[in-house]
Amino acid sequence: MKMNRKQFVKAGAAATVGFPAIVRAQGLNEKLQVAFVAVGGKAKTHTKEAHAHGLQCVAFADVDKRTWGSVHDKEGWGGATGYTDWREMFQKQRKDIDVVFVTTPDHSHFSPSMTAVSMGIHCYTEKPLTWSVREAQLLTQAYGEQKNVVTQMGNHGHAMQGWRVAYELVKGGAVGEVKEFHTWTNRPIWPQGGNRPGYTSPVPDYLNWEAWIGAAPMRPFAAPQEGAHKGYGPYHPFNWRGFVDFGSGALGDMACHTTDGIYAIMNPGYAATAEPLEMNGSIGDQYPAGMVVKCTYRATAERPGFATYWYEGQDKKGQPYMPETPEELKEDDATLPRTGNLIVGTKGKMLVQGDYWNSPRIIPEAKRREFGRPEQLLDRSPGHHAEFFMACRGEKPREFSQSNFSYSGPMTANIQLGNLCARAGKKLVLNEAGEITSDPKINELAWREPRKGWGPLESIV
């Protein structure tokens, strides 16, 4: 996983960074000036929230010009400069930017995020934080070194009440010592288990395909075929999620939501082992149609070791990978929801329904009523975007943005470790620093050299 950090620095980038925008924005009566790397799809949520919270958009970059109205149609934002290449935006307007949102496909998260953090710009990056294990570790390190930068990963469920209630139930002794977490999802809802498209297409005039490919290896564009759902092509704007070069499969797409409570409750550190228990197909150009992954975590002074199990997609018979319905649910004549978590402890079990740690409850119902409501131990959040903006303005300390890179970085590294063991096709053993010791050659898969010219413009690590 080790590499020469200088290879991140793009030739010709300035070596000295000035922060006049950051200094200016610390006056609480001044508007934070925001930029966006991608403004279509999920990014529309961020342009909406930033506008509602009074930020001023000065620049944005999106490879698809059809999305630019997400910025220009907002009152007061019509003068923001649009680019199709995020590098040009930073090179020309870095001194104007206080805050940047990165909402690109997974393979393009790392370079603009590292650029922003290294330039002293507050950074919100969508989940998963990075495409690879090593990228997540490097962003975590950069956040630790750049002490005035506020960060947030886009797992909005972390600001909700659900995992906090689950935390309070666990700490209140509702299930005893936690032994296992079982997490399952109804994803993928995009193609997986297939191969590269067998055709190519001319690049449309509204799309900068070079910038869309970014740090990944170049390949030809392929347009939507007749009858494609919502006009989605094999890659752009949605189905890239299933391709190894661009996305992180169902695990990368959803685990930052569905396993969030595990990290918030257990503070696990890096996994000790990661192992693919079942896979429906091998990993080629796409992730498999389904898989089950097991990870184990070391004991600490505060808790025993425990195991996690991740279930996604379908088996070869077309049945969803899910844990078996526990006896405690059968007692209530109930079944498992289509997505959720099952927490297994030494004294009982807890069911968490949905993607965002919704409605955690002890099972069976009789035991839930007997235990009652847990004591509140944690403060509640004012909202995922609100806590980020409050920290950016200096109204709260930077850690008030609670899914900051010191939290979401190790989480993402562990999540991508699940994909890594699946790509390796075998069990991996790691040390406490997150380095693979069972087969050091696999560490090479934990990092991918960015395509020439598409690494971070600057890096402080």
The runs of H, that is alpha helices, within 94-196 are 110-118, 133-145, 162-171
Q: What angle do CA 211, 227, 67 make, to 5 degrees?
A: 35
Q: What pairs with residue 286 in β-bridges?
A: 243
- Cα 139–Cα 143–Cα 146 angle in degrees, nearest 5: 130
**Cis upstream peptide for 105 (omega within 30°):** no
Contacts of 441 (CB under 8 A, 6+ apart): none
**Cβ within 8 Å of residue 184, ≥6 positions away:** 258, 310, 311, 312, 320, 321, 322, 323, 336, 339, 340
Two structure tokens written together for 423? 């790509």
Q: Are 34 and 56 in contact (CB under 8 A)?
A: yes
pLDDT at 71: 98
Q: Where are the domains of the chain?
A: 5-155+384-403, 161-189+248-371
Residue at token pair 């907002």:
74
At 30 the pLDDT is 76
pLDDT block averages, 10 residues each, the chain of length 461: 35 33 47 97 97 98 98 98 98 98 98 98 98 97 98 98 98 98 97 96 98 98 92 96 98 98 97 98 95 98 97 97 97 97 98 95 97 97 98 98 98 97 96 94 93 97 93
User: What does the pLDDT read at residue 7?
Assistant: 35
CATH 3.30.360.10 is the classification of domain 161-189+248-371: yes
Whole-Å CA distances, 72 to 54, 67, 68, 100: 15, 10, 6, 17
Nearest Cα neighbor of 245 from 455, 453, 450 is 450
Six-digit token string for 368 = 């839930």
Same fold, 5-155+384-403 and 161-189+248-371: no
H or E element, residue 328:
helix 327-331
Tokens of 17: 């960074």
Q: Is the pTM of this model over 0.85?
A: yes
- Give the CATH fold of the 5-155+384-403 domain: Rossmann fold (3.40.50)
Largest Cα–Cα distance of the chain, in whole Å? 67
Residue 36: name the closest of 48, 18, 54 by CA. Answer: 48
According to DSSP, the residues that pair with 344 across neighbouring strands are 180, 349
Report d(CA 221, CA 263) in Å as an integer: 38
Between helices 110-118 and 133-145, what is the axis angle to 10°?
10
